[in-house]
Structure 1
Amino acid sequence: MGRIKKQRKHQQGSQTTLGHRGIDFKKTHGQHILRNPRVADTIIAKAGLKSTDTVLEVGPGTGNLTVKILERCKKLVAYEIDPRMIVEVYKRVQSTPVESKLQVIQGDVLKHAIPYFDICVANTPYQISSPLVFRLLAHRPMFRAAVLMFQREFAMRLIAKPGDPLYCRLSVNVQLLARVSHLMKVSRNNFRPPPKVESSVVRIEPRNPPPDISFEEWDGLLRLCFQRKHRMLRAIFTQKKVLKMLEEKRKTAKALSNGGVKQSVESIMRLGDSMNIDTDVAFQNAATMNEDLEMDPGAENGSADQMEVEFAPKRKGGKRKDGGIENPMKKQLEQVLDETDFATLRASQMTIDDFRKLLSALHLKGFRFS
């Protein structure tokens, strides 16, 4: 009897992963198929498709969104890793008026050159959320908009503003390059198999022209500031290890140049690789979530003096360890932070304009971050 119960339990568990026409969905590919037609209709309505549009779709799965998109566009280019899904999608449009509009490319969208498209509409595989966003933002020529389904916590990070708990380096980098808005929430029960998390749909519209900035320098500054986003900037920049790093970069730095479009595009794509998040683990692990939000003892009460004590040169016998000689680089950094009024601010409070002002002021003093 015990064996029969175990066998039935195992069979029931395996059946929950079966979807359209008995296909076994693979979690490794992030296959959570949107099965609610009303949600699909709403997504397409909010996308604002035109009859002249070329649409990009990533991970069409069994084609529930695909067939609806084809009814409203000129052409649809889809990227799909799983050959079983490609067969399924083509079966659904075979011998229909929209069959000629569909092109499915087998492979990883992150590893292929993406052709021209006007708009991207996709139920995004969650494990490629971050690199996909930046790959799209690096695409040239620029597209009109992307309407994408993400894990809700990731979507909330994309739209987070200064002071929000989820405001982070991802928020600043994406909002520098695009306007992002939240369109709708989608319950996990609208998918087969249901994911462990809730989802949201966002609209991303790239800023055209893109900001005139060195993205490697920009992200280098953000990496430093968001290591402890609740810590005052003075405390961050006066750490010995940070001073040493900036000194080394200053010695090796060459004259900055805009680098042209190619360098900018490559830099944007690298942003996504550096911020890729394993959503199946990171957002469900409370410790990982809280690591980014951890408050510093000194930052919690807002005391700049306490923060300075932590990083002040150690004294021995009443004398400074450095012999009483003040670090000129530290003095320059403190001068810049005081002049820009950012010394007592924290990254969690700063706007994009604040970061641009800070980067410009530090560049004028010869500081480099890439």
Structure 2
Amino acid sequence: MPKFKTKTPKERHDGLQKQSITFNKDLGQHILKNPLVIDNMVEKAALRPTDVVLEIGPGTGNMTVKILPHVKKLVVCEIDIRLVGELEKRVQGTPYRSKLNILIGDALKTKFPFFDVCLANIPYQISSPLVFKLLHHRPFFRCAILMFQKEFAQRLVAKPGDKLYGRLAANVQLLARVDIVMKVGKNNFKPPPKVESSVVRIEPISPQPDINLKEWDGMLRLVFLRKNKTIGAIFRLKAVIDLMEKNYRVYCSLKNIKLDENFSCKEMVEKVLEETGFQESRARSMEIDQLLVLLCAFNSKGFHFVA
């Protein structure tokens, strides 16, 4: 099989510097230089010859050239036109150039085509929105192998009772199985970032839960805003009761439901909490199935959580 004549990480970096190409930290450009880390990420993806792969932020192509020999097609999304030029030079004249499709633009604004697997070293500032863009992508992909800053990765995989368990974990784990598969030190990058990194495997759950995801997130915003308070204490707050009543009145208006003269939103909310038995529970310790029960209980009484 023909092989790329790849340069060492130092030669790649020195070459870029000689051409006056500097890495843009505002774009989170910390190029992964350690070939062993790259090999491990590609191995974790368990690529197949029939796969279409999406790589976000290929940079100078250190991972790109490792992926191409193993797949049917590779789509890369890169915002920096300078690095696109470097990537094109790297594959020029190789038998793999025809497999490579380059999308130039912001990954958050670019429409992704069909893909089986996603591989990426994600800039911190777009980590959360990009995760949800991937999870909402259809048709479902098989898995994503993504590198994040260490704390963000820990927040993704946190379980009920963990210090970092919160709205992010509950939102992501509702839709996917998430695991940390590798830890990566800062010296594996050029230039080195200020923090350590971790590689996460994300595998979408299919079929997805049959709920309104905006409502789900709306309820999570409430219960995790003060995740150390009991659920009962949160839903007795005046601001929360006022919001619940406003949404309930809108619901009744749309359904042509006439409100009773003695209608009390507070009493109705209390009744839901009694029926579910979650008055003394705290969001920080609640399993996703319990949070789903709470949402469905409120919905069944006409309470909805919308922005």
TM-score (norm 2): 0.90
Q: Which runs of 4+ in 1 moved over 4 A?
A: none
Residue 242 (structure 2) aligns with = 244
Which residue of structure 1 lines up, in the alignment, with residue 40 of structure 2? 42
* Residue of structure 2 in register with 1:125 after alignment: 123
1:21 corresponds to which of 16, 21, 25? 16
Q: CA RMSD in A?
A: 1.3
Distance 1:84 1:202 in 2: 28
- Structure 1 residue aligned with 2:100: 102
Contact 2:144 2:202 in 1 (8 A): yes
**What whole-Å deviation, never above 9, does each CA across 1:307-360 have from its counterpart, x for those lacking one?**
xxxxxxxxxxxxxxxxxxx98221221222122110001100101100110111
Question: Structure 1 249/19 Cα, relative in aligned 2: closer, same or farther at 3 Å?
Answer: farther
* 1:188 is aligned to 2:186: yes
| 1:223 pairs with one of 194, 213, 221 | 221
Equivalent residue for 2:90, pick from 80, 83, 92: 92
2:212 match? 214
Matched-pair contact (CA < 8 Å) for 1:122–1:147: yes
Aligned mates of 2:111, 2:85 — CA distance in 1: 22
Deviations 1:235-292 (A, max 9, x none): 100111111111111111246xxxxxxxxxxxxxxxxxxxxxxxxxxxxxxxxxxxxx
1:364 maps to a residue whose letter is S
Question: Taking structure 1 as reference, are residues 28 and 186 closer, same or farther at Cα in structure 2, changes over 3 Å only?
Answer: same
Q: How does 1:158-173 map to 2 (within 5 A)?
A: 158-173=156-171
- Give CA-to-partner distance per residue, 1:176-212, whole Å, 9 cap, x none: 0111111000000100000011100000011111110
2:278 counterpart letter in structure 1: F
In structure 1, the partner of 2:203 is 205
| 2-structure distance, mates of 1:347, 1:369 | 16
**Aligned partner (choices 111, 114, 121) of residue 113 of structure 1:** 111
Amino acid of the structure 2 residue aligned with 1:218: W
Aligned-partner SS, 2:77: strand
Query: What 5-or-longer segments of structure 1 have no aligned partner?
Result: 1-17, 256-325
Matched, 1:330 2:261: no
* Residue 126 of structure 1: how far off its partner (Å): 1.8
Quick one: structure 1 residues 20 and 60, their matched pair in 2 at CA, closer, same or farther if it must change by over 3 Å? farther
Q: Helix, strand or coil for the counterpart of 1:79? A: strand
TM-score (norm 1): 0.75
> How far apart are residue 20 of structure 1 and its match?
5.0
In 2: Cα distance, 1:129 partner to 1:352 partner: 22
Pairwise CA distance, 1:226: 0.5
Shift of 1:65: 0.6
Given residue 55 of structure 2, which amino acid in structure 1 is its aligned partner?
Answer: E
2:39 partner letter: D
Aligned-pair distance for 1:367?
1.1
3-state DSSP class of the match of 1:71? helix
SS of match in other structure, 2:70: coil
Contact 1:36 1:190 (C-alpha < 8 Å) held by counterparts = yes
SS at structure 2 position matched to 1:150: strand
Deviations 1:6-56 (A, max 9, x none): xxxxxxxxxxxx665313000111100000000000110111011110000
Alignment of 1:245-284 (within 5 A): 245-253=243-251, 254=254
Q: Deviations over 1:114-149 (max 9, x none)?
A: 111110011112211111111111111111100000
- Partner SS state of residue 110, structure 1: coil
1:20–1:62 Cα contact (<8 Å) kept: no
> Which deviates more, 335-344 or 80-89?
335-344
Q: CA 1:120/1:327 → structure 2, altered by over 3 Å: closer, same or farther? A: same
Distance 2:189 2:200 in 1: 17
Matched residues in 1 for 2:22 and 2:207: separation?
A: 44
Aligned length: 283
In structure 1, C-alpha distance between the alignment counterparts of 2:244 and 2:266, rounded to whole Å: 10
8 A contact 1:19–1:192 mirrored in 2 = no
SS in 2 for 1:174: helix
Q: Secondary structure at the match of 1:38?
A: helix
Cα 1:50–1:225 shift into 2, 3 Å:
same
Quote the Cα distance in structure 2 between the aligned partners of 1:176 and 1:142. Answer: 15
Give the aligned partner of residue 9 of structure 2.
none
Q: What runs of 5+ residues in structure 2 fail to find an aligned partner?
A: 1-12, 256-261
**Structure 2: how far apart are the matches of 1:343 and 1:333?**
11
Q: Distance in 1 between matches of 2:48 and 2:117?
A: 10
SS of the equivalent of 1:226 reads: helix
Provide the rounded CA distance (Å) in 2 between the counterparts of 1:363 and 1:28.
Answer: 43
- Equivalent position to 1:362, from 270, 274, 298: 298
Which structure's relative contact order is higher, taking Cα pairs within 8 Å and 6+ residues apart?
Answer: 1
